[in-house]
């Protein structure tokens, strides 16, 4: 009975996610598909649930943006203490994953890393976290924000999306372009960035996270997704996919999903 109940919930969530039409309307009418060599913008804010999500989801794009002399800030919300195959808390992983993030940043060239240290698997949406993100945006004035997608199959990633939605509700004049990246769950994309020239360096950055590769071959899986994205367009090499939208469309989708 429990299996059927869980299955029913999954079907309901799927129906809820795809019956509203906002996603497809925004993708086809307002944000037609584009194959890009790079993403325009100088001040770039990356919201990463854990140390590794930035490199896994958009490592190649980060390398391209660094080459273009973009000013990139990456915020890691969670401390990564449950980043093992059994999802049990291991305090030693906190320092390890911070060091891995710093090593990966040396490879990608990103200079500004911010570690907020929330506990893995904990709800983070609240007044203090909303204020922290709001102040960061006001101080940094990003033109582009990267964040995980609503559909990524990880509760911590969902928390970051919810937190950002709460921030947007309090900042109606915020006009940055948003790019939702994919990690755990391939998403409907309307932007594809060619990272063929950056794939080798991205692989090295992914492999900086040796603590995570012990549980899963992320290096193989992530690059396979990037190759698939390029292959589906008849392109050779590698590409990273994103769903790009305005803050307004992001909030419309969020309201339909909650």
Q: Is 135 contained in some domain?
A: yes
Q: Which residues does residue 72 pair with via DSSP β-bridges, in sequence order?
A: 44
**235 pLDDT exceeds 80?**
no
* Nearest one of 146, 13, 26, 131 to 75, comparing CA atoms: 146
The pLDDT of 60-87, averaged and rounded, is 91
What is the tens place of the pLDDT at every residue in 128-143? Answer: 999 999 999 999 999 9
Q: Looking at residue 94, which CATH number applies to its domain?
A: 3.40.50.10320
The per-residue pLDDT for 4 is 32
Distance CA 229, CA 55 (A): 17
Q: What is the reported pLDDT for 163?
A: 98
Q: Could you tell me if residue 12 is inside a domain?
A: no
The answer to whether position 175 is within a domain reads yes
Domain presence at residue 7: no
**Parallel, antiparallel, or unpaired for β 239-245 and 144-148?**
unpaired
pLDDT band at 29 (very low <50, low <70, confident <90, very high): very low
Q: How many domains does the chain divide into?
A: 1
- 124-180 pLDDT, tens digit per residue, is 999 999 999 999 999 999 999 999 998 888 899 999 999 999 999 999 999 999 999
5 falls within a domain: no
Task: Tell me if 124 is assigned to some domain.
Answer: yes
pLDDT of res. 156:
93
Q: 23 lies in a domain?
A: no
- Domain extent, residue 252, equals 34-257
Which of residues 114 and 216 earns the better pLDDT score? 114
Q: Which pLDDT score, from 0 to 100, does residue 31 have?
A: 53
Query: For residue 14, what pLDDT is reported?
Result: 44
Q: Lowest-confidence range among 87-96, 137-146, 181-190?
A: 87-96
Give the pLDDT of residue 55: 98
Q: Residue 217 falls within a domain, yes or no?
A: yes
Whether the CB-CB separation of 243 and 191 falls below 8 Å is answered with yes
Predicted confidence band of residue 2 (pLDDT cuts 50, 70, 90): very low
Rounded to two decimals, what is the model's pTM?
0.88
DSSP calls for 133-200: HHHHHHHH--SEEEEE-TT-S-HHHHHHHHHHHHHHHT-TT---EEEEE-SSS----SEEEE-GGGHH
7-16, 82-91, 99-108: range with highest mean pLDDT: 99-108
Distance of alpha carbon 183 from the chain centroid: 7
Q: How does residue 23 score in pLDDT terms, banded at 50, 70 and 90?
A: low
């Amino acid at each position: 009975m429990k299996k059927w109940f869980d299955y029913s919930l999954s079907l309901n969530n799927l129906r809820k996610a795809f019956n509203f039409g906002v996603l497809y309307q925004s993708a086809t009418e307002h944000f037609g598909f584009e194959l890009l060599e790079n993403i325009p913008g100088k001040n770039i804010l990356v919201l990463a649930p854990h140390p590794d999500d930035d490199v896994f989801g958009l490592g190649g794009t980060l390398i391209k943006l660094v080459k273009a002399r973009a000013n990139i800030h990456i915020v890691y919300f969670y401390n990564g203490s449950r980043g093992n195959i059994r999802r049990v808390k291991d305090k030693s992983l906190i320092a390890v994953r911070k060091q891995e993030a710093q090593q990966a940043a040396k490879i990608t060239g990103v200079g500004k890393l911010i570690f907020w240290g929330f506990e893995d698997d904990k709800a983070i949406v609240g007044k203090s976290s909303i204020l922290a993100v709001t102040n960061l945006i006001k101080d940094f004035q990003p033109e582009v924000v990267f964040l995980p997608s609503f559909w990524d199959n990880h509760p911590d990633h969902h928390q970051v999306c919810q937190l950002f939605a709460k921030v947007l509700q309090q900042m109606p004049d915020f006009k940055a372009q948003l790019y939702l990246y994919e990690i755990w769950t391939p998403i409907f994309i309307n932007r594809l960035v060619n990272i063929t020239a950056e794939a080798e360096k991205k692989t090295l950055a992914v492999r900086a996270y040796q603590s995570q590769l012990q549980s899963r071959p992320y290096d193989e899986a992530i690059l396979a997704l990037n190759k698939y994205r390029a292959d589906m367009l008849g392109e050779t090499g590698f590409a990273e996919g994103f769903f790009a939208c305005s803050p307004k469309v992001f909030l419309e989708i969020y309201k339909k999903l909650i």
